[in-house]
Amino acid sequence: MNTTTMTLTPGYFSRRDWGDWLFAALVVVGALFAFSRYHGAMDVYEKAILAGAVPAVIWLGWFWRPLRNLMVVVAALSLLAIASYAGDLRRADHVFWLKYFLSSQSAILWMSVLFFMSTLFYWGGMFGRGQAATFEGLGSKLAWVAVTLALVGTMVRWYEGHQMGPDIGHIPVSNLYEVFVLFCWLTTLFYLYYEAQYRTRALGAFVMLVVSAAVGFLLWYTLVRDAQQIQPLVPALQSWWMKLHVPANFIGYGTFSLAAMVAFAYLIKQQATETQWYRLTPIWLFGMALCFVPIAFRQRGVGEAGGSYWVGYAIVAAVIVGGILLGRKRIAERLPALEVLDDMMYKSIAVGFAFFTIATVLGALWAAEAWGGYWSWDPKETWALIVWLNYAAWLHMRLMKGLRGTVAAWWALAGLAVTTFAFIGVNMFLSGLHSYGEL
Protein backbone atom coordinates (compact mmCIF):
# COMPACT_ATOMS: atom_id res chain seq x y z
CA MET A 1 0.00 0.00 0.00
CA ASN A 2 1.32 3.40 -1.00
CA THR A 3 1.39 6.11 1.59
CA THR A 4 1.57 9.77 0.82
CA THR A 5 3.32 12.13 3.17
CA MET A 6 1.98 15.64 3.19
CA THR A 7 4.34 18.40 4.23
CA LEU A 8 2.66 21.53 5.47
CA THR A 9 4.40 24.81 4.82
CA PRO A 10 4.59 26.93 7.98
CA GLY A 11 2.45 30.05 7.92
CA TYR A 12 3.94 33.48 7.28
CA PHE A 13 3.77 34.61 10.89
CA SER A 14 4.89 31.27 12.30
CA ARG A 15 8.13 31.65 10.35
CA ARG A 16 9.02 34.81 12.25
CA ASP A 17 11.74 34.54 14.91
CA TRP A 18 12.23 36.64 18.03
CA GLY A 19 14.38 39.13 16.11
CA ASP A 20 11.54 39.79 13.68
CA TRP A 21 9.07 40.44 16.47
CA LEU A 22 11.53 42.61 18.36
CA PHE A 23 12.06 44.67 15.20
CA ALA A 24 8.29 45.02 14.74
CA ALA A 25 7.92 46.16 18.35
CA LEU A 26 10.67 48.77 17.90
CA VAL A 27 8.96 50.14 14.79
CA VAL A 28 5.59 50.40 16.55
CA VAL A 29 7.11 52.03 19.64
CA GLY A 30 9.05 54.49 17.48
CA ALA A 31 5.93 55.42 15.52
CA LEU A 32 3.90 55.90 18.70
CA PHE A 33 6.62 58.08 20.20
CA ALA A 34 6.80 60.21 17.03
CA PHE A 35 3.02 60.58 17.00
CA SER A 36 2.75 61.48 20.68
CA ARG A 37 5.47 64.11 20.41
CA TYR A 38 4.79 65.65 17.01
CA HIS A 39 1.14 65.02 16.19
CA GLY A 40 0.36 68.70 16.75
CA ALA A 41 2.65 69.64 13.87
CA MET A 42 1.27 66.96 11.51
CA ASP A 43 -1.68 67.33 9.16
CA VAL A 44 -4.04 64.46 8.38
CA TYR A 45 -2.01 63.34 5.37
CA GLU A 46 1.21 63.13 7.36
CA LYS A 47 -0.55 61.14 10.05
CA ALA A 48 -1.82 58.75 7.39
CA ILE A 49 1.70 58.41 5.96
CA LEU A 50 3.07 57.63 9.43
CA ALA A 51 0.36 55.02 10.03
CA GLY A 52 0.96 53.42 6.64
CA ALA A 53 4.72 53.45 7.12
CA VAL A 54 4.55 51.16 10.17
CA PRO A 55 3.35 47.96 8.43
CA ALA A 56 5.42 48.83 5.33
CA VAL A 57 8.65 49.13 7.32
CA ILE A 58 7.91 45.96 9.29
CA TRP A 59 7.21 44.01 6.10
CA LEU A 60 10.42 45.29 4.48
CA GLY A 61 12.44 44.25 7.51
CA TRP A 62 10.84 40.80 7.47
CA PHE A 63 11.13 40.44 3.70
CA TRP A 64 14.90 41.02 3.66
CA ARG A 65 16.61 40.75 7.01
CA PRO A 66 19.75 42.74 6.11
CA LEU A 67 17.37 45.65 5.57
CA ARG A 68 16.08 45.20 9.10
CA ASN A 69 19.61 45.43 10.46
CA LEU A 70 20.28 48.49 8.30
CA MET A 71 17.22 50.31 9.62
CA VAL A 72 18.11 49.57 13.24
CA VAL A 73 21.70 50.82 12.82
CA VAL A 74 20.59 53.96 10.95
CA ALA A 75 17.99 54.73 13.61
CA ALA A 76 20.54 54.25 16.42
CA LEU A 77 23.19 56.45 14.80
CA SER A 78 20.66 59.13 13.85
CA LEU A 79 19.29 59.27 17.39
CA LEU A 80 22.85 59.47 18.73
CA ALA A 81 23.51 62.45 16.45
CA ILE A 82 20.26 64.16 17.47
CA ALA A 83 21.00 63.61 21.16
CA SER A 84 24.52 64.95 20.66
CA TYR A 85 23.16 68.14 19.11
CA ALA A 86 20.87 68.72 22.11
CA GLY A 87 19.05 71.38 20.11
CA ASP A 88 22.20 73.40 19.34
CA LEU A 89 23.62 73.06 15.82
CA ARG A 90 26.84 74.80 16.91
CA ARG A 91 27.78 71.61 18.73
CA ALA A 92 28.66 70.11 15.32
CA ASP A 93 31.96 71.99 15.57
CA HIS A 94 32.82 70.67 19.04
CA VAL A 95 31.42 67.15 19.51
CA PHE A 96 33.91 64.70 18.02
CA TRP A 97 31.54 62.21 16.38
CA LEU A 98 29.33 65.00 15.06
CA LYS A 99 32.23 66.93 13.58
CA TYR A 100 33.88 63.96 11.90
CA PHE A 101 31.17 61.34 11.34
CA LEU A 102 27.51 62.02 12.14
CA SER A 103 26.62 65.57 11.12
CA SER A 104 24.85 65.47 7.77
CA GLN A 105 27.77 66.91 5.81
CA SER A 106 30.31 64.61 7.46
CA ALA A 107 28.19 61.50 6.94
CA ILE A 108 27.56 62.32 3.26
CA LEU A 109 31.26 63.01 2.64
CA TRP A 110 32.09 59.63 4.19
CA MET A 111 29.40 58.11 1.99
CA SER A 112 31.15 59.57 -1.05
CA VAL A 113 34.58 58.24 -0.09
CA LEU A 114 33.22 54.79 0.73
CA PHE A 115 31.32 54.48 -2.55
CA PHE A 116 34.55 55.26 -4.43
CA MET A 117 36.43 52.70 -2.34
CA SER A 118 33.70 50.12 -2.86
CA THR A 119 33.95 50.59 -6.63
CA LEU A 120 37.74 50.12 -6.52
CA PHE A 121 37.47 46.93 -4.48
CA TYR A 122 34.79 45.48 -6.75
CA TRP A 123 37.07 46.11 -9.73
CA GLY A 124 39.97 44.67 -7.76
CA GLY A 125 37.91 41.51 -7.46
CA MET A 126 37.35 41.53 -11.21
CA PHE A 127 41.09 41.43 -11.95
CA GLY A 128 42.61 40.12 -8.72
CA ARG A 129 43.33 36.49 -9.44
CA GLY A 130 43.20 34.36 -6.32
CA GLN A 131 41.90 37.24 -4.22
CA ALA A 132 38.69 37.98 -6.14
CA ALA A 133 36.34 36.86 -3.39
CA THR A 134 38.22 38.89 -0.78
CA PHE A 135 38.18 42.08 -2.85
CA GLU A 136 34.52 41.69 -3.79
CA GLY A 137 33.59 40.96 -0.19
CA LEU A 138 35.28 44.18 0.91
CA GLY A 139 33.53 46.06 -1.88
CA SER A 140 30.17 44.75 -0.73
CA LYS A 141 30.81 45.60 2.92
CA LEU A 142 31.97 49.11 2.05
CA ALA A 143 28.83 49.59 -0.04
CA TRP A 144 26.70 48.65 2.98
CA VAL A 145 28.57 51.12 5.19
CA ALA A 146 28.21 53.84 2.55
CA VAL A 147 24.44 53.24 2.34
CA THR A 148 24.25 53.42 6.14
CA LEU A 149 26.04 56.76 6.26
CA ALA A 150 23.97 58.12 3.36
CA LEU A 151 20.80 57.36 5.31
CA VAL A 152 22.24 58.75 8.55
CA GLY A 153 23.24 61.92 6.69
CA THR A 154 19.73 62.21 5.27
CA MET A 155 18.03 61.71 8.65
CA VAL A 156 20.33 64.13 10.44
CA ARG A 157 19.96 66.72 7.66
CA TRP A 158 16.20 66.51 8.15
CA TYR A 159 16.67 67.25 11.86
CA GLU A 160 19.17 70.04 11.20
CA GLY A 161 16.74 71.78 8.88
CA HIS A 162 14.02 71.83 11.50
CA GLN A 163 16.47 73.17 14.07
CA MET A 164 17.29 76.06 11.72
CA GLY A 165 13.67 77.16 11.67
CA PRO A 166 10.11 75.84 11.29
CA ASP A 167 9.93 77.19 7.72
CA ILE A 168 13.24 75.59 6.70
CA GLY A 169 12.96 71.98 7.84
CA HIS A 170 11.76 69.49 5.22
CA ILE A 171 12.38 65.96 4.04
CA PRO A 172 15.76 66.07 2.21
CA VAL A 173 14.58 65.21 -1.31
CA SER A 174 13.97 68.73 -2.61
CA ASN A 175 17.05 69.72 -4.66
CA LEU A 176 19.79 68.19 -6.79
CA TYR A 177 22.17 67.73 -3.86
CA GLU A 178 19.60 65.81 -1.82
CA VAL A 179 18.24 63.69 -4.64
CA PHE A 180 21.72 62.66 -5.76
CA VAL A 181 22.30 61.28 -2.26
CA LEU A 182 18.92 59.54 -2.57
CA PHE A 183 19.86 58.11 -5.98
CA CYS A 184 23.20 56.78 -4.70
CA TRP A 185 21.89 54.82 -1.74
CA LEU A 186 18.72 53.60 -3.47
CA THR A 187 20.62 52.26 -6.49
CA THR A 188 23.22 50.59 -4.28
CA LEU A 189 20.61 49.07 -1.98
CA PHE A 190 18.72 47.51 -4.89
CA TYR A 191 21.97 46.15 -6.27
CA LEU A 192 22.92 44.65 -2.89
CA TYR A 193 19.55 42.89 -2.80
CA TYR A 194 20.14 41.37 -6.24
CA GLU A 195 23.69 40.53 -5.24
CA ALA A 196 22.32 38.42 -2.41
CA GLN A 197 19.52 36.89 -4.47
CA TYR A 198 21.72 35.84 -7.39
CA ARG A 199 24.73 35.06 -5.19
CA THR A 200 27.20 36.93 -7.36
CA ARG A 201 29.24 40.02 -6.57
CA ALA A 202 30.86 40.43 -9.96
CA LEU A 203 28.24 42.93 -11.12
CA GLY A 204 29.18 45.34 -8.34
CA ALA A 205 32.05 46.53 -10.50
CA PHE A 206 29.57 47.75 -13.12
CA VAL A 207 26.70 49.01 -10.98
CA MET A 208 29.01 50.97 -8.70
CA LEU A 209 30.36 52.83 -11.73
CA VAL A 210 27.07 54.65 -12.16
CA VAL A 211 26.89 55.29 -8.41
CA SER A 212 30.43 56.67 -8.39
CA ALA A 213 29.58 58.89 -11.37
CA ALA A 214 26.67 60.29 -9.36
CA VAL A 215 28.97 60.84 -6.38
CA GLY A 216 31.40 62.64 -8.66
CA PHE A 217 28.67 65.02 -9.74
CA LEU A 218 27.56 65.47 -6.13
CA LEU A 219 31.05 66.51 -5.03
CA TRP A 220 31.40 68.94 -7.93
CA TYR A 221 27.96 70.39 -7.27
CA THR A 222 28.88 70.86 -3.61
CA LEU A 223 32.13 72.57 -4.60
CA VAL A 224 30.75 75.11 -7.06
CA ARG A 225 27.22 75.69 -5.72
CA ASP A 226 27.76 75.28 -1.97
CA ALA A 227 24.85 72.88 -2.38
CA GLN A 228 25.14 71.25 1.02
CA GLN A 229 23.58 74.33 2.63
CA ILE A 230 20.00 73.75 3.77
CA GLN A 231 17.61 76.18 2.10
CA PRO A 232 13.88 76.85 2.59
CA LEU A 233 11.56 75.11 0.18
CA VAL A 234 10.24 77.05 -2.78
CA PRO A 235 6.41 77.37 -2.65
CA ALA A 236 5.82 74.68 -5.31
CA LEU A 237 7.58 72.08 -3.12
CA GLN A 238 5.76 72.89 0.10
CA SER A 239 3.49 69.88 -0.16
CA TRP A 240 3.21 66.46 1.40
CA TRP A 241 3.07 65.03 -2.14
CA MET A 242 6.83 65.52 -2.33
CA LYS A 243 7.37 62.90 0.37
CA LEU A 244 5.81 60.29 -1.90
CA HIS A 245 6.47 61.43 -5.45
CA VAL A 246 10.23 61.99 -5.28
CA PRO A 247 11.28 58.70 -3.58
CA ALA A 248 9.05 56.68 -5.93
CA ASN A 249 10.52 58.53 -8.89
CA PHE A 250 14.08 57.79 -7.81
CA ILE A 251 13.40 54.12 -7.24
CA GLY A 252 12.62 54.17 -10.95
CA TYR A 253 15.77 56.12 -11.85
CA GLY A 254 17.93 53.89 -9.68
CA THR A 255 16.64 50.55 -10.96
CA PHE A 256 16.68 51.73 -14.59
CA SER A 257 20.33 52.70 -14.12
CA LEU A 258 21.06 49.35 -12.48
CA ALA A 259 19.43 47.55 -15.42
CA ALA A 260 21.51 49.56 -17.88
CA MET A 261 24.78 48.61 -16.20
CA VAL A 262 23.71 44.95 -16.12
CA ALA A 263 22.93 45.29 -19.84
CA PHE A 264 26.41 46.74 -20.38
CA ALA A 265 27.92 43.73 -18.59
CA TYR A 266 25.76 41.44 -20.75
CA LEU A 267 27.09 42.96 -23.96
CA ILE A 268 30.70 42.78 -22.77
CA LYS A 269 30.34 39.11 -21.87
CA GLN A 270 28.70 38.40 -25.20
CA GLN A 271 31.38 40.19 -27.24
CA ALA A 272 34.43 39.41 -25.10
CA THR A 273 36.18 37.39 -27.80
CA GLU A 274 35.72 39.97 -30.55
CA THR A 275 38.94 41.46 -31.89
CA GLN A 276 37.64 43.90 -34.49
CA TRP A 277 37.20 47.34 -32.92
CA TYR A 278 33.88 48.12 -34.59
CA ARG A 279 32.32 45.05 -32.95
CA LEU A 280 33.11 46.44 -29.50
CA THR A 281 30.59 49.25 -29.82
CA PRO A 282 29.12 48.87 -26.29
CA ILE A 283 32.45 49.84 -24.74
CA TRP A 284 33.08 52.67 -27.19
CA LEU A 285 29.60 54.10 -26.69
CA PHE A 286 29.95 53.86 -22.92
CA GLY A 287 33.21 55.80 -23.13
CA MET A 288 31.59 58.43 -25.34
CA ALA A 289 28.74 58.76 -22.85
CA LEU A 290 31.19 59.25 -19.98
CA CYS A 291 33.07 61.91 -21.93
CA PHE A 292 29.81 63.65 -22.89
CA VAL A 293 29.26 64.79 -19.32
CA PRO A 294 32.34 67.04 -19.00
CA ILE A 295 31.85 68.33 -22.55
CA ALA A 296 28.20 69.15 -21.90
CA PHE A 297 28.97 70.88 -18.63
CA ARG A 298 31.69 73.01 -20.15
CA GLN A 299 29.50 73.95 -23.11
CA ARG A 300 26.71 74.83 -20.73
CA GLY A 301 29.04 77.14 -18.82
CA VAL A 302 28.63 75.41 -15.49
CA GLY A 303 32.13 73.97 -15.85
CA GLU A 304 33.81 77.34 -15.51
CA ALA A 305 34.03 76.97 -11.76
CA GLY A 306 36.00 73.83 -11.08
CA GLY A 307 36.63 73.29 -14.79
CA SER A 308 39.74 71.23 -14.08
CA TYR A 309 37.47 68.84 -12.19
CA TRP A 310 35.87 67.77 -15.46
CA VAL A 311 39.26 67.31 -17.09
CA GLY A 312 40.07 64.83 -14.31
CA TYR A 313 36.67 63.23 -14.79
CA ALA A 314 37.38 62.70 -18.50
CA ILE A 315 40.80 61.20 -17.73
CA VAL A 316 39.30 58.74 -15.24
CA ALA A 317 36.58 57.85 -17.78
CA ALA A 318 39.24 57.14 -20.40
CA VAL A 319 41.17 54.91 -17.98
CA ILE A 320 38.00 52.97 -17.14
CA VAL A 321 37.13 52.41 -20.79
CA GLY A 322 40.71 51.40 -21.60
CA GLY A 323 40.77 48.95 -18.71
CA ILE A 324 37.49 47.37 -19.82
CA LEU A 325 38.75 47.04 -23.40
CA LEU A 326 42.02 45.42 -22.38
CA GLY A 327 40.52 43.19 -19.69
CA ARG A 328 37.24 42.23 -21.35
CA LYS A 329 38.08 38.51 -21.51
CA ARG A 330 38.91 38.36 -17.81
CA ILE A 331 35.78 40.38 -17.05
CA ALA A 332 33.63 37.99 -19.09
CA GLU A 333 34.99 35.03 -17.12
CA ARG A 334 34.01 36.65 -13.83
CA LEU A 335 30.49 37.62 -14.89
CA PRO A 336 27.56 35.27 -14.29
CA ALA A 337 25.79 33.47 -17.12
CA LEU A 338 23.96 35.48 -19.77
CA GLU A 339 20.64 34.05 -18.57
CA VAL A 340 21.28 35.43 -15.08
CA LEU A 341 22.18 38.85 -16.45
CA ASP A 342 19.08 38.87 -18.64
CA ASP A 343 16.84 37.96 -15.71
CA MET A 344 18.34 40.61 -13.43
CA MET A 345 17.94 43.23 -16.15
CA TYR A 346 14.27 42.31 -16.57
CA LYS A 347 13.46 42.33 -12.85
CA SER A 348 15.20 45.68 -12.35
CA ILE A 349 13.21 47.30 -15.15
CA ALA A 350 9.95 45.74 -13.93
CA VAL A 351 10.45 47.13 -10.41
CA GLY A 352 11.52 50.51 -11.73
CA PHE A 353 8.59 50.74 -14.13
CA ALA A 354 6.08 49.98 -11.37
CA PHE A 355 7.44 52.70 -9.10
CA PHE A 356 7.94 55.17 -11.95
CA THR A 357 4.29 54.68 -12.90
CA ILE A 358 3.23 55.38 -9.33
CA ALA A 359 5.49 58.46 -9.25
CA THR A 360 3.99 59.76 -12.49
CA VAL A 361 0.43 59.41 -11.17
CA LEU A 362 1.40 61.08 -7.89
CA GLY A 363 3.12 63.86 -9.85
CA ALA A 364 -0.05 64.49 -11.84
CA LEU A 365 -2.10 64.73 -8.65
CA TRP A 366 0.48 67.07 -7.15
CA ALA A 367 0.42 69.24 -10.29
CA ALA A 368 -3.36 69.47 -10.11
CA GLU A 369 -3.13 70.75 -6.55
CA ALA A 370 -0.21 73.14 -7.18
CA TRP A 371 -0.90 74.44 -10.69
CA GLY A 372 -4.55 73.58 -11.34
CA GLY A 373 -3.97 70.93 -14.02
CA TYR A 374 -2.83 67.31 -14.13
CA TRP A 375 -0.52 67.80 -17.11
CA SER A 376 1.08 70.87 -18.64
CA TRP A 377 3.69 69.43 -21.07
CA ASP A 378 6.43 70.98 -18.98
CA PRO A 379 9.86 69.69 -20.22
CA LYS A 380 10.34 67.57 -17.11
CA GLU A 381 6.89 66.06 -17.49
CA THR A 382 7.43 65.44 -21.20
CA TRP A 383 10.71 63.63 -20.63
CA ALA A 384 9.21 61.65 -17.76
CA LEU A 385 6.57 60.48 -20.21
CA ILE A 386 9.28 59.54 -22.74
CA VAL A 387 11.05 57.48 -20.05
CA TRP A 388 7.78 55.78 -19.13
CA LEU A 389 6.92 54.98 -22.76
CA ASN A 390 10.43 53.63 -23.38
CA TYR A 391 10.26 51.09 -20.58
CA ALA A 392 6.58 50.33 -21.18
CA ALA A 393 7.54 49.34 -24.73
CA TRP A 394 10.52 47.30 -23.45
CA LEU A 395 8.30 45.35 -21.03
CA HIS A 396 5.60 44.88 -23.66
CA MET A 397 8.11 43.40 -26.08
CA ARG A 398 9.53 41.22 -23.32
CA LEU A 399 6.21 39.83 -22.10
CA MET A 400 4.28 39.69 -25.39
CA LYS A 401 7.01 39.03 -27.95
CA GLY A 402 9.66 37.28 -25.87
CA LEU A 403 12.31 39.99 -26.20
CA ARG A 404 15.61 38.63 -24.89
CA GLY A 405 19.35 38.85 -25.34
CA THR A 406 21.25 41.39 -27.38
CA VAL A 407 18.36 43.60 -28.47
CA ALA A 408 16.97 43.78 -24.93
CA ALA A 409 20.41 44.67 -23.56
CA TRP A 410 21.01 47.40 -26.16
CA TRP A 411 17.57 48.82 -25.49
CA ALA A 412 18.13 48.87 -21.72
CA LEU A 413 21.53 50.51 -22.18
CA ALA A 414 20.02 53.17 -24.47
CA GLY A 415 17.38 53.71 -21.80
CA LEU A 416 20.13 55.01 -19.50
CA ALA A 417 20.69 57.93 -21.87
CA VAL A 418 16.97 58.74 -21.88
CA THR A 419 16.75 58.41 -18.09
CA THR A 420 19.86 60.55 -17.54
CA PHE A 421 18.50 63.35 -19.70
CA ALA A 422 15.18 63.24 -17.87
CA PHE A 423 17.02 63.25 -14.53
CA ILE A 424 19.59 65.97 -15.09
CA GLY A 425 19.71 66.97 -18.77
CA VAL A 426 16.39 68.78 -18.52
CA ASN A 427 17.77 70.80 -15.62
CA MET A 428 20.86 71.69 -17.65
CA PHE A 429 19.37 72.62 -21.00
CA LEU A 430 15.65 73.33 -20.54
CA SER A 431 13.47 75.36 -18.23
CA GLY A 432 9.91 75.17 -17.05
CA LEU A 433 7.76 74.63 -14.00
CA HIS A 434 10.39 72.28 -12.57
CA SER A 435 13.24 74.81 -12.92
CA TYR A 436 13.76 74.87 -9.15
CA GLY A 437 16.34 72.12 -9.82
CA GLU A 438 18.18 74.15 -12.46
CA LEU A 439 21.98 74.04 -12.53
pTM surpassing 0.85?
yes
Burial of 251 (0-12, 13-18, 19+ CB in 10 A): buried
| ∠ Cα 358 360 363 (to 5°) | 110
User: What is the rounded CA–CA span in Å between residue 227 and residue 302?
Assistant: 14
User: What is the rounded CA–CA span in Å between residue 233 and residue 239?
Assistant: 10
pLDDT of residue 305: 47
Per-residue pLDDT of the chain (439 residues; tens, 9 = 90+): 454 444 555 778 888 899 999 999 999 999 999 999 888 878 888 898 899 999 999 999 999 999 999 999 999 999 999 999 988 999 999 999 999 999 999 999 999 999 999 999 999 999 887 788 999 999 999 999 999 999 999 999 999 998 998 778 888 998 889 999 999 999 999 999 999 999 999 999 999 999 998 998 899 888 877 888 888 888 777 787 888 899 999 999 999 999 999 999 998 888 776 655 555 566 556 655 555 555 555 555 544 545 677 777 777 877 887 788 788 888 989 999 999 999 999 999 999 999 999 999 998 888 888 777 777 888 888 999 999 999 999 999 999 999 998 899 999 998 998 998 888 877 776 665 555 555 5
pLDDT of residue 357: 97
User: What is the rounded CA–CA span in Å between residue 357 and residue 374?
Assistant: 15
Closest CA to 242 of 159, 170, 150: 170
Q: Answer for the pair 237, 174: CB distance below 8 angstroms, yes or no.
A: yes
Distances from the Cα of 320 to the Cαs of 153, 181, 187, 193, 314, in angstroms? 29, 23, 20, 25, 10
pLDDT of residue 375: 78
pLDDT of residue 246: 92
pLDDT of residue 303: 46
pLDDT of residue 243: 86
Instruction: Give tens-digit pLDDT for 97-149.
Output: 999 999 999 999 999 999 999 999 999 999 887 788 999 999 999 999 999 99
Q: Answer for the pair 102, 85: CB distance below 8 angstroms, yes or no.
A: no
Residue 437's φ and ψ, nearest 5 degrees, are -105, 15
